[in-house]
């Protein structure tokens, strides 16, 4: 029968750890993670930004609903602030003026180019016609967030098993039997699928709904800039239409081509061609010659066919809960999604039908994909 828990959470990224921490309030919970450490895949490879105006309306609502957690997190588990000022700027080059209305509609405000130049001294101001800023955009300390959730989980008696890959499921007297690659079996009344890029694969093993969660690769690199360029004060800057972006990260500058190439789930690496194109765009607006790439990496942003998250009970399998498809917004929406999963697991059917912090739950429910999801939007 294996080791018995109330709930098994599959995936030790931010989604799995946060949901497990919430659920452990009144359940015996265990997280099963294939890798040797938490956050090895998407969670550890993000741009670490909180931008409530970014993404589809469902994610915007979830980010807004998460803000109170980020700013008021329990100091016992989160000993430092989780958010710090950054700002996000949409750069408008000649010919891109049509994007101005898009930025205005998202609540971004016009920023004089002189002012942007003051914050980004290396800016080639004459290459832009306008800039719009979202001052609400902040940096997230992702490692602190993840470690805090793990501490909270363990303080409530929850367990985390690393090097434990889930390879199969069976049902036995109404409970899930979860098989793992190492041979150890686990038993639980409920399974939460927080397997990130592998969420469809895990669902297939459990004979749950065939919802197509598509991983899309995004590449990034770190650049060393001159010490006197006041890097700390730079906002995140992105090309209109999200063609590339850059932001300070740990004393260096992260540059990304904002690529979104559909791939199979895997341990991702950077696309060098895409990075080369990003360097070209970067050098058009920043007076700095990139002579060599520092560290480069790739990460997977995983999307449901309509771009919304998939959170809630499966339609085909009892006691199987989805927490997947967080795309490029999975860190900033995590506190609200984790609490939503807790509410769904603990409450009556009402929570499955209603709204949550202004979000129509039908928009994120697995039930919206009766056939597994057909149409795909570009992300």
Ligand X SMILES: Cc1cc2nc3c(=O)[nH]c(=O)nc-3n(C[C@H](O)[C@H](O)[C@H](O)COP(=O)(O)OP(=O)(O)OC[C@H]3O[C@@H](n4cnc5c(N)ncnc54)[C@H](O)[C@@H]3O)c2cc1C
> Which of 135, 165, 224, 376 contacts ligand X by CB under 6 A?
165
- Interface region with ligand X, contact rule CB under 6 A, candidates 104-112, 113-121, 182-190, 320-328: 320-328
The gap between the terminal CA atoms of the chain, to the nearest Å, is: 43
307: contact with ligand X by CB under 6 A = no
330: contact with ligand X by CB under 6 A = yes
166: contact with ligand X by CB under 6 A = yes
Structural contact between residues 144 and 134, judged by C-beta atoms closer than 8 angstroms: no
- Interface region with ligand X, contact rule CB under 6 A, candidates 21-29, 37-45, 98-106, 270-278: 37-45
In this structure, what token pair is assigned to residue 326?
């967080």
Which residues, 6+ apart, have CB-to-CB distance to 311 below 8 Å?
Answer: 321, 322, 323, 324, 337, 340, 341, 344, 364, 365
40: contact with ligand X by CB under 6 A = yes
CB of 290 to ligand X, least distance (A): 19
- Interface region with ligand X, contact rule CB under 6 A, candidates 72-80, 83-91, 192-200, 222-230: 192-200
For the stretch 243-259, what's the b/e string if a residue is b when 16 or more beta carbons lie within 10 angstroms of its beta carbon? ebbbbbbeeebbbbbbb
CB of 10 to ligand X, least distance (A): 5
216: contact with ligand X by CB under 6 A = no
CB of 292 to ligand X, least distance (A): 21
3-state secondary structure labels for all residues of 41-72:
CHHHHCCCEECCCCCCHHHHHHHHHHHHHHHH
Structural contact between residues 330 and 213, judged by C-beta atoms closer than 8 angstroms: no
CB of 358 to ligand X, least distance (A): 19
According to CB under 6 A, which residues from 43 to 82 bind ligand X? 43, 45-49
141: contact with ligand X by CB under 6 A = no
Q: Tell me, by CB under 6 A, how many residues bind ligand X.
A: 41
299: contact with ligand X by CB under 6 A = yes
Give me the phi and psi of 357, to 5 degrees please.
50, 45
> Which of 9, 14, 128, 208 contacts ligand X by CB under 6 A?
14
Closest CA to 55 of 237, 199, 242: 242
Alpha helices in 78-119 (DSSP H): 99-105, 113-119
366: contact with ligand X by CB under 6 A = no
15: contact with ligand X by CB under 6 A = yes
198: contact with ligand X by CB under 6 A = yes
332: contact with ligand X by CB under 6 A = yes
CB of 300 to ligand X, least distance (A): 6
Structural contact between residues 212 and 304, judged by C-beta atoms closer than 8 angstroms: yes
State the helix-helix crossing angle for 14-23 and 334-346, rounded to 10 degrees.
40
Instruction: Return the DSSP state at 328.
Output: T
Q: Which of 129, 144 has the CB closer to ligand X?
A: 144
Cα–Cα dist 367/122, whole Å: 50
For every residue of 143-178, DSSP letters joined together read HHHHHHHHHHHHHTT-EEESS--EEEEEEETTEEEE
249: contact with ligand X by CB under 6 A = no
Interface with ligand X (CB under 6 A): 10-16, 32-35, 39-43, 45-49, 165-166, 194-198, 202, 218, 220, 299-301, 326-332
């Amino acid at each position: 029968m294996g080791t018995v828990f109330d709930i098994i959470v599959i995936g030790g990224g931010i989604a799995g750890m946060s949901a497990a921490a919430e659920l452990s309030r009144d359940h015996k919970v265990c997280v099963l993670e294939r890798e040797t450490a938490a956050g090895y895949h998407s969670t550890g490879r993000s741009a670490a930004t909180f931008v409530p105006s970014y993404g589809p309306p469902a994610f915007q609502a979830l980010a807004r609903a998460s803000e109170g957690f980020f700013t008021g997190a329990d100091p016992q588990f989160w000993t430092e602030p989780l958010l710090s000022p950054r700002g996000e700027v949409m750069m408008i080059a000649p010919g891109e003026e049509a994007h101005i209305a898009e930025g205005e509609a998202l609540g971004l405000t016009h920023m004089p180019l002189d002012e942007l130049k003051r914050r980004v001294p290396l800016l080639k101001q004459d290459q832009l016609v306008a800039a719009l800023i979202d001052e609400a955009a902040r940096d997230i300390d992702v490692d602190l967030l993840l470690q805090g959730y793990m501490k909270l989980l363990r303080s409530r008696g929850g367990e985390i098993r690393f090097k434990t890959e889930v390879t199969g499921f069976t049902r036995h007297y109404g409970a899930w039997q979860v098989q793992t690659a190492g041979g150890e079996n686990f038993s639980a009344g409920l399974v939460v699928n927080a397997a990130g890029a592998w969420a469809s694969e895990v669902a297939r093993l459990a004979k749950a709904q065939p919802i197509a969660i598509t991983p899309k690769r995004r590449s990034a690199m770190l650049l060393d800039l001159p010490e006197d360029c006041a890097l700390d004060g730079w906002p995140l800057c992105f090309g209109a239409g999200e063609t590339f972006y850059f932001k300070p990260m740990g004393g260096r500058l992260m540059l990304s081509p904002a690529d979104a190439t559909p791939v199979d789930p895997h341990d991702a690496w950077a696309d060098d061609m895409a990075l080369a194109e990003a360097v070209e765009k970067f050098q058009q607006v920043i007076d700095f010659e990139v002579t060599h790439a520092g560290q480069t990496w790739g990460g997977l942003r995983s999307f449901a066919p309509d771009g919304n998250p998939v959170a809630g009970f499966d339609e085909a399998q009892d006691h199987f809960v989805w927490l997947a498809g967080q795309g490029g917004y999975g860190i900033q929406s995590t506190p609200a999604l984790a609490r939503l999963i807790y509410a769904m697991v603990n409450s009556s059917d009402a929570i499955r039908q209603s709204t949550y912090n202004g979000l129509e739950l039908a928009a994120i429910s697995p039930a919206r994909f009766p056939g597994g999801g057909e149409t795909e939007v570009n992300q």
